[in-house]
Structures are given as structure tokens and as C-alpha cells.
Amino acid sequence: MSQWIGNAGCASRPALAGALAAMALLSACGKPQPAATNTASTASAPAASAAAPATPAAPAAQTAPAAPAEYSMAPGGGSSANDAPGSQDPAGFARYQGSRIVHYGTTSYATYKLPDQKQGWSTTTTIEGAIARAFYLVPPGASSLEVFRNYEQMLTNAGYTQTLAFNDDNMSPTGTWFYGQYQADASFDGNNLHSAIACTEYGTTYEYAVYRSSNGATVALATVESPGCNWGAPDFATPIPVSKGQVVVGIDVIGVKAGDIADAQASKGVFDLYGVYFDTDKTDVKPESAATLDEVASLLKIDRSLRLEVSGHTDNTGGDAHNLQLSQGRAQAVVNALVKTYGIDPTRLVAKGYGDTKPVAPNDNEADKAKNRRVELRKI
């Protein structure tokens, strides 16, 4: 859950060239800078172009009240026995306590539409990237707003900034904001959302917001109290009953582009890759990392003078020696993938593991640990 607002993340070739030129001016020694549970280096992922439903009344921007007194998010980054087959939390993201994934999808590259704060779905902005989508069913008893505030707090802790928000008071028609994004585009997931639409379309207490992070990811989050339904095919062969008022959460994470990487390196000299995935305590790059590696390779092919240190970082779970070895192995695995799969000259890449010695957040909760489990690109 990018630097994109509008098409800002889809940099034109001249804009990208300018960013690369600016990056070339950086000093080579510039400082800017998910147990043993060190899991995947975190979140990028994948999307749907939604149809533009009926034009809503101009909504007022939503303020962000304080988070719930009790933070009720469970550690994420995995799956449970009750989840839909083949599903998992988007890397680096937690889930509300007791929730189960009832729908999941990914794509390596797709377009994704975001509404306008004033005009709603009648005026949309299209972004692009790898997308990961997860729908969760929350245990009965929680309210839509309570669940929304917990996710909001998780995203804030992870460094995301809210860019737009709507709720029941400024959505018209009410259901459009939640299911409109998810239902219509057959190119990604559109034909597989029968249960998601049935369980949200005529619900109540809608909350919808979009967030972006400094590492180039965009998150669209929605919660709704269901009208009641049976959540069935294609997610479950035996339908799951959903009670009236039970909260459904939809979360989409849209990943990074080469232009985002170039922009970050031009301004800071470093870019955190939260879209390269590993299994717990493993160094093999997982297939779902391909979309992010595609963008890294694209940047390297555009600027053939660019040399990068690929640095691996862990949280503080496990011993120092173990974490150092794990981070080095992961950094080297990324270098190997860029060389073998994309034909990048190995002399342009240096793998370096730092273990848990360079955290970007305290290691005292799962959300912050997820930020520390990462791969960085640093210009050399």
C-alpha cells in the first residue's frame, strides 16, 4: 500500500532522465539513507481498473481522529488455516485480530484507478504497477470504524501518509466507494469478485482511504459492515456465512516503478525495496518479486553508467552472526537475479549484508520490524 498522485509516478522519459542526471551529481559517499523470523523484504503488489460508477456529490475531506485506545492488529506476513487457499497477507502488513482472508489476488503489472477527493469516481487518476489484493472477514463484534482506525494506525506506523478519504457521510451512492474499485475490470480479478460484491454492495458504515509511502507504494483501504451473505466461489467451495454487520476489509497494495526509484536516489541516494520477497530465514528470491526486479533492471538499462550497492537488512530477531549471514545471502540473491535473469553486468552491482545494524525504526513491534526487513539500493 506510491509516490504517485495522479500520474506523477509514471514519469516521462525526459523527467526520468532529469532524475538520473540529478542522481549523477550525488557524492558516492552520500549518507541518506519481514524468525529467527526475518521474513520477506516487504510490500509491493497488484491491481484492478475499476469502472467509474455514478457521480457522487462532492465529498468533504475526512479528518483523522485518534486511533483506538487498544491496537488490535495481529502480526501479518503469512497465512492461517482458515484463509482462502493460496492466500497470504501482503508482505509487511498486519491483519485485524482473528480475521481470515476470504479473497486474494496478485498481478505482476496492471493499471489501477483512484478517485478524486471532490469528484469521486467520475474523475479518476490511473496509476500502474504490481498489485496485491486481500479481502478479510473480521470476527463479529467489531465496527467498521474501529477496524479502519486500526489499519490506519498500522499504516501510519509503517510510514504511510493518507492522501484522500471518504466515509458514509460523503459517499454517494453509499456502496460505490467500496465495491466500485474492485468489481469491473476483467483484466485483473474482476470476474472473481462475485462474493465480494454481494457481501459489500449494500452494506453500511463505509470507510475508504488511500495512502502513499516514501518508498513508492500506494495502499487503497476500505472497510464496510456487510448486509449479510454467503461468501462462496471462487474463493471457497463450501460457502462461508457472513453475518449482517460483520466487517469486510479490502486492501490493495500497488508497487513501485523505475521512476520512483530514480527520484528517490536523486534526492536521497538510497531507495528501500519493499517488494522483494523471501521465505522466513531463507535467501531464495520468491517469484512474486519479479515485478519489483523488473523495475530495478529497467532503471539499470536506462542508465548504463549507474552502479548500485544492493544491501540486505534484517530485524533484530536472531543472533548477530545469523542476521549478518542472512542479510548478505539475500542481497547476493538479488544481485544474482539481476545478473542471470536480466543480463545486468555484475561489475555494476555489489551485495552487502548489514544484519540488524542499520534499523530504520525501533524493533519493538511487528510493524516496525517489517520496516527493518528490507533490501536497499544505494548509488555507488
Residue 148 predicted with pLDDT over 80: yes
Task: Give the integer Cα–Cα distance in Å for 222 and 148.
Answer: 7
The larger pLDDT score, comparing residue 98 to residue 271, is at 98
**Phi, psi torsion values for 279, nearest 5 degrees:** -75, 160
Spatial distance between the Cα atoms of 52 and 54, rounded to a whole number of angstroms:
7
Of 231 and 269, the structure prediction assigns the larger pLDDT to 231
> Is pLDDT at 120 greater than 60 in this prediction?
yes
Strand partners, 104: 134
pLDDT of 198 reads 84
53 within 8 A of 130, measured Cβ to Cβ: no
Which pLDDT belongs to residue 269?
77
Cα dihedral value 356, 357, 358, 362, nearest 10:
60
Residues 175-188: pLDDT tens digits?
Answer: 455 555 555 444 56
Using alpha carbons only, give the angle 7, 14, 267 rounded to the nearest 5 degrees.
75
374-379: strand order across its sheet? 270-273, 374-379, 308-313, 349-353
What is the model's pLDDT at position 78? 66
Q: Which domains does the chain have, with CATH numbers?
A: 45-254 (no CATH), 274-379 (3.30.1330.60)
Quick one: pLDDT band at residue 327, thresholds 50, 70, 90? very high
Q: Where are the alpha helices (DSSP H) in 250-353?
A: 258-268, 290-302, 320-342
* pLDDT class of 170 with cuts at 50, 70, 90: low
DSSP string, 62-96: PP-PPPPSS--EEP-SS--TTSPTT--PPTT--EE
pLDDT at 143 over 70: yes
Q: Which of 78, 97, 42 minimizes the C-alpha distance to 315?
A: 42
pLDDT of residue 357: 96
| pLDDT interval class at 239 (50, 70, 90) | very high
Cell of 147: 477496524
pLDDT, one tens digit per residue, over 70-111 is 457 876 556 788 999 988 888 778 899 999 999 998 877 677
User: d(Cα 125, Cα 137) in Å, to the nearest integer?
Assistant: 29
- How would residue 294 be classed by pLDDT, with cut points 50, 70 and 90? confident
Average pLDDT, integer, range 125-149: 89
Per-residue pLDDT, 346: 96
294 against 244, higher pLDDT: 244
Q: How far apart are CA 105 and CA 358, in angstroms?
A: 33
Mean pLDDT over residues 174-202, rounded? Answer: 65
